[in-house]
Structure 1
Amino acid sequence: MIDIRLASMDDFDAMWNIFQSVIETGDTLPFGESFDREAFHQNWFASKPAYVATNESGVIGMYSMGANYPDLGAHISSATYLVRPDAQGKGVGRALVRHSLERARSEGFSAMQFNYVVSTNVAAVELYKSLGFFIAGTLPKAFKHKRLGLVDAYVMYCFL
Protein backbone atom coordinates (compact mmCIF):
# COMPACT_ATOMS: atom_id res chain seq x y z
CA MET A 1 0.00 0.00 0.00
CA ILE A 2 1.42 3.37 -1.08
CA ASP A 3 0.24 6.62 0.46
CA ILE A 4 1.13 9.93 -1.22
CA ARG A 5 0.97 13.11 0.85
CA LEU A 6 2.45 16.57 1.12
CA ALA A 7 6.02 16.39 2.45
CA SER A 8 6.88 17.96 5.77
CA MET A 9 10.18 18.85 7.38
CA ASP A 10 9.88 15.56 9.28
CA ASP A 11 10.49 13.88 5.90
CA PHE A 12 13.56 15.93 5.05
CA ASP A 13 16.26 13.45 6.13
CA ALA A 14 14.60 10.53 4.35
CA MET A 15 14.16 12.64 1.21
CA TRP A 16 17.78 13.81 1.35
CA ASN A 17 18.93 10.17 1.67
CA ILE A 18 16.87 9.17 -1.38
CA PHE A 19 18.24 12.12 -3.35
CA GLN A 20 21.82 11.20 -2.38
CA SER A 21 21.37 7.55 -3.36
CA VAL A 22 19.86 8.49 -6.74
CA ILE A 23 22.44 11.10 -7.74
CA GLU A 24 25.30 8.86 -6.59
CA THR A 25 24.69 6.58 -9.58
CA GLY A 26 25.27 9.46 -12.00
CA ASP A 27 22.85 8.05 -14.54
CA THR A 28 19.48 9.81 -14.17
CA LEU A 29 19.69 13.34 -12.74
CA PRO A 30 21.92 16.29 -13.67
CA PHE A 31 22.75 17.08 -10.04
CA GLY A 32 26.21 16.41 -8.60
CA GLU A 33 27.97 16.63 -5.27
CA SER A 34 27.86 20.44 -5.32
CA PHE A 35 24.07 20.21 -4.86
CA ASP A 36 24.29 20.16 -1.07
CA ARG A 37 21.68 19.87 1.69
CA GLU A 38 20.91 23.59 1.60
CA ALA A 39 20.43 23.59 -2.20
CA PHE A 40 18.26 20.49 -1.85
CA HIS A 41 16.18 22.18 0.86
CA GLN A 42 15.69 25.28 -1.29
CA ASN A 43 14.78 23.24 -4.35
CA TRP A 44 12.44 20.78 -2.63
CA PHE A 45 10.88 22.84 0.16
CA ALA A 46 11.15 26.55 -0.60
CA SER A 47 10.35 26.83 -4.30
CA LYS A 48 7.31 24.55 -4.80
CA PRO A 49 5.40 21.88 -2.89
CA ALA A 50 6.96 18.46 -2.51
CA TYR A 51 5.08 15.20 -2.04
CA VAL A 52 6.25 11.89 -0.62
CA ALA A 53 5.17 8.32 -1.20
CA THR A 54 5.22 6.23 1.95
CA ASN A 55 4.53 2.69 2.99
CA GLU A 56 5.21 0.67 6.12
CA SER A 57 8.97 1.13 5.59
CA GLY A 58 8.79 4.94 5.51
CA VAL A 59 9.40 7.37 2.65
CA ILE A 60 9.95 5.41 -0.56
CA GLY A 61 9.62 8.14 -3.18
CA MET A 62 9.02 11.80 -3.77
CA TYR A 63 8.20 14.45 -6.31
CA SER A 64 8.11 18.18 -6.66
CA MET A 65 5.80 19.91 -9.13
CA GLY A 66 5.03 23.43 -10.19
CA ALA A 67 5.04 25.80 -13.12
CA ASN A 68 7.75 25.01 -15.64
CA TYR A 69 8.47 28.73 -16.09
CA PRO A 70 6.95 31.90 -14.64
CA ASP A 71 4.64 34.36 -16.33
CA LEU A 72 3.99 33.43 -19.98
CA GLY A 73 5.07 29.81 -19.40
CA ALA A 74 3.23 29.33 -16.13
CA HIS A 75 0.38 27.35 -17.71
CA ILE A 76 2.75 24.40 -18.24
CA SER A 77 3.76 22.29 -15.24
CA SER A 78 6.94 20.35 -14.64
CA ALA A 79 7.94 17.77 -12.06
CA THR A 80 10.91 15.82 -10.75
CA TYR A 81 10.54 12.32 -9.31
CA LEU A 82 12.81 10.13 -7.22
CA VAL A 83 12.22 6.62 -5.91
CA ARG A 84 14.30 4.95 -3.22
CA PRO A 85 16.50 2.34 -4.97
CA ASP A 86 15.05 -0.64 -3.07
CA ALA A 87 11.51 0.47 -4.04
CA GLN A 88 12.17 0.90 -7.76
CA GLY A 89 10.25 -1.31 -10.17
CA LYS A 90 7.32 -1.71 -7.74
CA GLY A 91 4.89 0.91 -9.06
CA VAL A 92 6.02 3.79 -6.86
CA GLY A 93 7.14 5.94 -9.79
CA ARG A 94 3.90 5.30 -11.66
CA ALA A 95 1.87 6.28 -8.57
CA LEU A 96 3.91 9.49 -8.17
CA VAL A 97 3.54 10.51 -11.83
CA ARG A 98 -0.20 9.79 -11.79
CA HIS A 99 -0.60 11.81 -8.61
CA SER A 100 1.29 14.74 -10.10
CA LEU A 101 -0.76 14.64 -13.31
CA GLU A 102 -3.98 14.72 -11.28
CA ARG A 103 -2.65 17.66 -9.26
CA ALA A 104 -1.55 19.50 -12.42
CA ARG A 105 -5.01 19.07 -13.95
CA SER A 106 -6.76 20.20 -10.79
CA GLU A 107 -4.49 23.25 -10.55
CA GLY A 108 -5.40 24.31 -14.09
CA PHE A 109 -2.19 23.50 -15.96
CA SER A 110 -2.71 22.70 -19.64
CA ALA A 111 0.31 20.38 -20.04
CA MET A 112 3.27 18.89 -18.24
CA GLN A 113 6.80 19.17 -19.60
CA PHE A 114 9.94 17.38 -18.50
CA ASN A 115 12.92 19.43 -19.57
CA TYR A 116 15.63 16.83 -19.08
CA VAL A 117 14.94 13.08 -19.20
CA VAL A 118 18.14 11.10 -19.67
CA SER A 119 17.69 8.91 -22.76
CA THR A 120 19.37 5.89 -21.16
CA ASN A 121 16.87 5.97 -18.27
CA VAL A 122 14.68 3.58 -20.23
CA ALA A 123 12.38 2.75 -17.32
CA ALA A 124 11.45 6.42 -16.85
CA VAL A 125 11.08 7.09 -20.59
CA GLU A 126 8.77 4.09 -21.00
CA LEU A 127 6.78 4.98 -17.88
CA TYR A 128 6.22 8.52 -19.12
CA LYS A 129 5.22 7.30 -22.59
CA SER A 130 2.73 4.84 -21.06
CA LEU A 131 1.11 7.78 -19.24
CA GLY A 132 0.68 9.93 -22.35
CA PHE A 133 3.99 11.74 -22.70
CA PHE A 134 5.84 11.98 -26.00
CA ILE A 135 9.38 13.01 -26.84
CA ALA A 136 9.11 16.61 -28.02
CA GLY A 137 12.82 17.04 -28.61
CA THR A 138 16.24 15.55 -28.16
CA LEU A 139 19.18 17.36 -26.61
CA PRO A 140 22.20 15.64 -28.21
CA LYS A 141 24.91 14.57 -25.79
CA ALA A 142 23.45 16.84 -23.10
CA PHE A 143 24.03 14.54 -20.12
CA LYS A 144 27.40 13.42 -18.78
CA HIS A 145 26.55 9.85 -17.75
CA LYS A 146 28.86 8.47 -15.06
CA ARG A 147 29.56 5.22 -16.99
CA LEU A 148 28.55 5.87 -20.60
CA GLY A 149 29.93 9.36 -21.16
CA LEU A 150 27.85 11.85 -23.13
CA VAL A 151 24.30 10.68 -23.86
CA ASP A 152 21.17 12.41 -25.13
CA ALA A 153 18.48 13.91 -22.95
CA TYR A 154 14.84 14.27 -23.97
CA VAL A 155 12.27 16.97 -23.54
CA MET A 156 9.01 15.11 -22.90
CA TYR A 157 5.51 16.60 -23.05
CA CYS A 158 1.96 15.61 -22.18
CA PHE A 159 -1.22 17.59 -22.81
CA LEU A 160 -3.54 17.53 -19.82
Structure 2
Amino acid sequence: MGLIIRPAAEADRAAIWSIIAPTLRAGETYTLPRDMREADALAYWFAPSHAPFVVEDAGEVVGTYYLRANQQGGGAHVANCGYMTSAAATGRGIARAMCEHSQTEARARGFRAMQFNIVISTNTRAVALWESCGFAVVGRLPGAFDHPTAGFVDALVMFKTL
Protein backbone atom coordinates (compact mmCIF):
# COMPACT_ATOMS: atom_id res chain seq x y z
CA MET A 1 0.00 0.00 0.00
CA GLY A 2 1.62 3.24 -1.15
CA LEU A 3 -0.13 5.65 1.17
CA ILE A 4 0.96 9.25 1.49
CA ILE A 5 -0.21 11.18 4.55
CA ARG A 6 0.34 14.91 4.32
CA PRO A 7 -1.07 18.17 5.67
CA ALA A 8 -4.36 19.06 4.01
CA ALA A 9 -4.33 21.96 1.58
CA GLU A 10 -7.07 24.28 0.36
CA ALA A 11 -7.12 22.26 -2.88
CA ASP A 12 -8.20 19.19 -0.84
CA ARG A 13 -11.45 20.73 0.39
CA ALA A 14 -13.71 19.05 -2.21
CA ALA A 15 -12.11 15.65 -1.60
CA ILE A 16 -12.43 16.07 2.16
CA TRP A 17 -16.08 17.04 1.82
CA SER A 18 -16.71 13.95 -0.30
CA ILE A 19 -15.42 11.86 2.63
CA ILE A 20 -16.99 13.66 5.57
CA ALA A 21 -20.42 14.37 4.04
CA PRO A 22 -21.60 10.72 3.97
CA THR A 23 -20.31 10.16 7.51
CA LEU A 24 -22.13 13.23 8.81
CA ARG A 25 -25.33 12.39 6.93
CA ALA A 26 -25.34 8.84 8.35
CA GLY A 27 -25.16 10.31 11.86
CA GLU A 28 -23.79 7.11 13.37
CA THR A 29 -20.30 8.06 14.55
CA TYR A 30 -19.89 11.83 15.00
CA THR A 31 -21.62 14.32 17.26
CA LEU A 32 -21.72 16.91 14.50
CA PRO A 33 -25.13 17.80 13.02
CA ARG A 34 -26.33 15.35 10.36
CA ASP A 35 -27.48 18.25 8.18
CA MET A 36 -24.29 20.29 8.59
CA ARG A 37 -23.65 22.41 5.52
CA GLU A 38 -20.49 21.92 3.49
CA ALA A 39 -19.08 25.34 4.38
CA ASP A 40 -19.65 24.77 8.09
CA ALA A 41 -18.21 21.25 8.03
CA LEU A 42 -15.09 22.39 6.21
CA ALA A 43 -14.73 25.38 8.54
CA TYR A 44 -14.81 22.91 11.43
CA TRP A 45 -12.30 20.51 9.81
CA PHE A 46 -9.94 23.40 8.93
CA ALA A 47 -10.48 25.34 12.18
CA PRO A 48 -7.44 27.32 13.33
CA SER A 49 -7.10 24.97 16.32
CA HIS A 50 -7.06 21.89 14.05
CA ALA A 51 -4.16 20.54 11.99
CA PRO A 52 -5.91 18.68 9.15
CA PHE A 53 -4.28 15.90 7.15
CA VAL A 54 -5.24 13.79 4.15
CA VAL A 55 -4.30 10.29 3.08
CA GLU A 56 -3.61 9.70 -0.59
CA ASP A 57 -3.55 6.34 -2.29
CA ALA A 58 -2.46 6.41 -5.94
CA GLY A 59 -3.15 10.16 -6.02
CA GLU A 60 -6.71 9.86 -4.64
CA VAL A 61 -7.65 11.26 -1.23
CA VAL A 62 -9.08 8.29 0.68
CA GLY A 63 -8.98 9.54 4.25
CA THR A 64 -8.66 12.62 6.39
CA TYR A 65 -8.05 13.46 10.00
CA TYR A 66 -7.40 16.45 12.19
CA LEU A 67 -5.15 16.78 15.21
CA ARG A 68 -5.75 19.30 17.97
CA ALA A 69 -5.31 19.90 21.67
CA ASN A 70 -8.14 18.18 23.51
CA GLN A 71 -8.43 21.04 26.00
CA GLN A 72 -6.78 24.36 26.73
CA GLY A 73 -4.63 25.38 29.68
CA GLY A 74 -3.73 22.51 31.97
CA GLY A 75 -5.16 19.96 29.53
CA ALA A 76 -3.37 21.23 26.44
CA HIS A 77 -0.77 18.44 26.59
CA VAL A 78 -3.41 15.86 25.58
CA ALA A 79 -4.17 15.55 21.87
CA ASN A 80 -7.48 14.75 20.24
CA CYS A 81 -8.21 13.61 16.69
CA GLY A 82 -11.11 13.01 14.35
CA TYR A 83 -10.66 10.46 11.57
CA MET A 84 -12.76 9.67 8.50
CA THR A 85 -12.16 7.24 5.66
CA SER A 86 -13.93 7.17 2.31
CA ALA A 87 -16.49 4.38 2.00
CA ALA A 88 -14.57 2.94 -0.96
CA ALA A 89 -11.40 2.66 1.14
CA THR A 90 -12.94 1.01 4.20
CA GLY A 91 -11.08 -2.07 5.39
CA ARG A 92 -7.81 -1.19 3.68
CA GLY A 93 -5.87 -0.01 6.74
CA ILE A 94 -6.44 3.69 6.13
CA ALA A 95 -7.77 4.42 9.64
CA ARG A 96 -4.90 2.49 11.25
CA ALA A 97 -2.39 4.44 9.15
CA MET A 98 -4.02 7.73 10.19
CA CYS A 99 -4.01 6.72 13.86
CA GLU A 100 -0.33 5.77 13.76
CA HIS A 101 0.55 8.95 11.84
CA SER A 102 -1.43 11.12 14.25
CA GLN A 103 0.41 9.68 17.24
CA THR A 104 3.76 10.45 15.61
CA GLU A 105 2.58 13.97 14.80
CA ALA A 106 1.22 14.45 18.30
CA ARG A 107 4.51 13.41 19.88
CA ALA A 108 6.42 15.73 17.52
CA ARG A 109 4.15 18.60 18.60
CA GLY A 110 4.83 17.93 22.28
CA PHE A 111 1.62 16.13 23.25
CA ARG A 112 2.01 13.58 26.05
CA ALA A 113 -1.22 11.65 25.52
CA MET A 114 -4.17 11.27 23.17
CA GLN A 115 -7.84 11.10 24.11
CA PHE A 116 -10.91 10.28 22.07
CA ASN A 117 -13.81 11.97 23.83
CA ILE A 118 -16.78 10.20 22.27
CA VAL A 119 -16.29 6.88 20.52
CA ILE A 120 -19.76 5.54 19.81
CA SER A 121 -20.11 2.09 21.39
CA THR A 122 -21.96 0.70 18.36
CA ASN A 123 -18.95 1.58 16.18
CA THR A 124 -17.34 -1.73 17.13
CA ARG A 125 -14.80 -1.65 14.29
CA ALA A 126 -13.42 1.67 15.54
CA VAL A 127 -13.39 0.55 19.17
CA ALA A 128 -11.47 -2.60 18.22
CA LEU A 129 -9.07 -0.63 16.03
CA TRP A 130 -8.31 1.97 18.68
CA GLU A 131 -7.78 -0.78 21.28
CA SER A 132 -5.38 -2.56 18.91
CA CYS A 133 -3.50 0.75 18.62
CA GLY A 134 -3.02 0.84 22.39
CA PHE A 135 -5.99 2.95 23.49
CA ALA A 136 -7.96 1.92 26.57
CA VAL A 137 -11.56 2.64 27.44
CA VAL A 138 -11.30 4.87 30.50
CA GLY A 139 -14.91 5.94 30.70
CA ARG A 140 -18.41 5.09 29.54
CA LEU A 141 -21.08 7.73 29.07
CA PRO A 142 -24.41 5.90 29.32
CA GLY A 143 -26.88 6.82 26.58
CA ALA A 144 -24.79 9.86 25.59
CA PHE A 145 -25.28 9.45 21.82
CA ASP A 146 -28.60 9.44 19.96
CA HIS A 147 -27.94 6.92 17.19
CA PRO A 148 -30.34 7.23 14.21
CA THR A 149 -31.31 3.54 14.26
CA ALA A 150 -30.13 2.12 17.60
CA GLY A 151 -31.50 4.95 19.76
CA PHE A 152 -29.59 6.17 22.78
CA VAL A 153 -26.29 4.29 22.99
CA ASP A 154 -23.21 4.62 25.16
CA ALA A 155 -20.21 6.69 24.19
CA LEU A 156 -16.72 5.67 25.23
CA VAL A 157 -13.82 7.81 26.33
CA MET A 158 -10.56 6.27 25.12
CA PHE A 159 -7.05 7.29 26.18
CA LYS A 160 -3.42 6.50 25.45
CA THR A 161 -0.23 7.88 26.94
CA LEU A 162 2.20 8.81 24.17
Same fold by TM (over 0.5)?
Answer: yes
Instruction: Name 1:60's counterpart in structure 2.
Output: 62
Instruction: Name 2:160's counterpart in structure 1.
Output: 158
Q: Does 1:109 align with 2:121?
A: no
What secondary structure, in the 3-state scheme, does the structure 2 residue paired with 1:46 have?
coil
CA distance in 2, matches of 1:57, 1:74: 34
Structure 2 letter corresponding to 1:59:
V
Instruction: Name 2:75's counterpart in structure 1.
Output: 73
Instruction: Name 1:26's counterpart in structure 2.
Output: 27
Structure 2 letter corresponding to 1:125:
V
* Structure 1 runs of 4+ with >3 Å offset: none
Structure 1 letter corresponding to 2:65:
Y
Instruction: Name 2:97's counterpart in structure 1.
Output: 95
Instruction: Name 2:86's counterpart in structure 1.
Output: 84
Instruction: Name 2:42's counterpart in structure 1.
Output: 41
Instruction: Name 1:15's counterpart in structure 2.
Output: 16
What secondary structure, in the 3-state scheme, does the structure 1 residue paired with 2:101 have?
helix
Q: Which runs of 5+ in 1 are unaligned?
A: none
Post-superposition Cα deviations, 1:55-107, rounded to whole Å, max 9, x if no partner, equal 12611000000100111110000000000011011100000000000111111
Q: Which runs of 5+ in 2 are unaligned?
A: none
Q: CA deviation at 1:34?
A: 4.1
Structure 2 letter corresponding to 1:33:
R
Q: CA deviation at 1:46?
A: 2.6
Q: Is the 8 A contact 2:69 2:79 kept in 1?
A: yes
Range moving further from structure 2, 11-20 or 30-39: 30-39
What secondary structure, in the 3-state scheme, does the structure 2 residue paired with 1:52 have?
strand
TM-score of the aligned structures, taking structure 2 as reference length: 0.94
CA distance in 1, matches of 2:125, 2:69: 25
What secondary structure, in the 3-state scheme, does the structure 2 residue paired with 1:27 have?
coil
